[in-house]
């Protein structure tokens, strides 16, 4: 993963290959596949979201009842030239195998892991499918009940996209992209457009059982590079 972070992709892929030769990912059983679709989150976008969802990969941990849903958006409004032709975000759903109730909803949000308690009750009220708001252009994944936790980041990103973007130099690779976000902060914080991830999950080769998500994504799933992120919520170390 360290080589991957440095964009030493041949070195990273070789190491990922050796790892997966020792601990191979498995195809899900019919029961595991049903769990992955049962707990697939309900995504809600901001009106006017420019970037489509390229792919979604679901990885079930072999030893713990948790599923990582890895979302790959077409790009990030702030990073057209970062050599990652996508924006990688993650939603983790932990569940009780006995009751099939959600016990924790976590997301990766700009270097932090968000796990608000209210998201659990809201998910269970919708048969285990957690509500996830997706930030315009930047695609930070916001669980139900986390709005206050991310208010400062929302304001900062809205100012960047709405006000400062007009004065920043534009990368040639951002041609055709919006020059700025047109709405106010209230509109930027309103997630009103539902997006069902299930059709994308039904594409072949995008569901696995493994404890090594980054290796599986690199060697089994995607033909394009992506940024490495925290593999599981209990491994998170917040950015300073």
* Residue boundaries of the structural domains of the chain: 26-231
Strand ordering across the sheet containing 191-195: 141-143, 131-134, 42-46, 191-195
- pLDDT per 10-residue tile (average), the chain, 240 residues: 95 98 98 97 97 97 98 94 94 98 97 96 98 97 95 94 74 89 95 95 96 98 96 81
Q: Looking at residue 39, what DSSP letter applies? A: T
Give which of 150, 37, 165, 139 is closest to 93, Cα–Cα.
37
What pLDDT does residue 238 have? 65
Tell me the chain's radius of gyration from C-alpha atoms: 18
Rounded to an integer, what distance in angstroms lies between the CA atom of residue 237 and that of residue 223?
Answer: 28
pTM over 0.85: yes
Rounded to an integer, what distance in angstroms lies between the CA atom of residue 138 and that of residue 72?
Answer: 12
């Amino acid at each position: 993963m360290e080589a991957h972070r440095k964009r030493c992709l041949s070195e990273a892929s070789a190491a990922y290959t050796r790892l997966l030769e020792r601990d191979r990912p498995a195809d899900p059983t019919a029961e595991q596949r049903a769990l992955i679709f049962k707990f697939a989150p309900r995504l809600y976008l901001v009106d006017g979201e420019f970037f489509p969802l390229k792919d979604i990969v679901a990885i079930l941990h072999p030893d713990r009842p948790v599923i990582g849903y890895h979302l790959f958006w077409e790009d990030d409004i702030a990073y057209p030239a970062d050599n990652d032709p996508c924006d990688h975000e993650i939603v983790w759903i932990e569940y009780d195998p006995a009751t099939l109730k959600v016990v924790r909803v976590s997301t990766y949000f700009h270097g932090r892991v968000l796990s608000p308690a209210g998201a659990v009750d809201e998910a269970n009220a919708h048969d285990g499918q957690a509500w996830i708001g997706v930030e315009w252009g930047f695609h930070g994944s916001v669980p139900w009940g986390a709005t206050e936790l991310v208010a400062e980041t929302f304001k900062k990103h809205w100012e960047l996209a709405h006000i400062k973007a007009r004065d920043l130099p534009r990368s040639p690779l951002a041609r055709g992209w919006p020059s700025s976000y047109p709405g106010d902060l209230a509109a930027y914080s309103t997630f009103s457009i539902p997006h069902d991830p299930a059709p994308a999950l039904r594409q072949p080769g995008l569901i696995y059982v493994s404890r090594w998500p980054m290796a599986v994504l690199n060697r089994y799933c995607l033909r394009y590079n992506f940024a490495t992120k925290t593999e599981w919520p209990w491994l998170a170390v917040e950015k300073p």
